[in-house]
A = this chain, B = another copy of it.
Amino acid sequence: MAGSRLGPMTTTADLRAVVETYWSAADARDWDAFAATLADEVLYDLPQTRERIRGKERYLRFNREYPGDWRVRVEQVVADGQGGQAAVRTRFTAGGEELPAIHFFVFDAAGRITEITDFWPEPYEPPAGREHLAERY
């Protein structure tokens, strides 16, 4: 990719600002600000459920309709201006429960989001045989 996919004004700092706006707008249910971060042809992908949502209107509706009084805060942003992509770790809270999530973003030349891939990794018990190397927390 090597820088060719982004316009001259779209830097790593720009991508970081876009994902920060995306999350603060989602947390505030400010769907106009949220929509402004998205390309019209945005593709939302959930590999764990094998679901895909195509286009800004459907994806906005998915978010507006999403049930529950959830809140979200950003934990880590890995922004790759050269590659026109970013990875984000967030923490969702809903009904007293806390859920970590991971999100990959791809951007167009104007810095709008064209692809979002979400992951929701669940807790599990470690397999036996590595207690001599790992500590639990």
Contact = CB atoms under 8 A, between A and B. Distances in A.
Interface in A120-137: 120-126, 129-130, 133-137
Interface in A95-110: 100, 102, 104
Contacts of A102: 102, 119, 121
Query: What is the interface of chain A mostly: helix, strand, loop, or mixed?
Result: mixed
Interface stretch (A23-31, A34-42, A52-60): A52-60
A120 B123 contact: no
A102 B77 CA distance: 14
Interface residues of A, number: 46
Contacts of A80: 12, 78-80
B129 A67 contact: yes
9 contacts: A12-B80, A54-B135, A62-B130, A78-B78, A78-B83, A80-B80, A87-B104, A102-B121, A122-B122
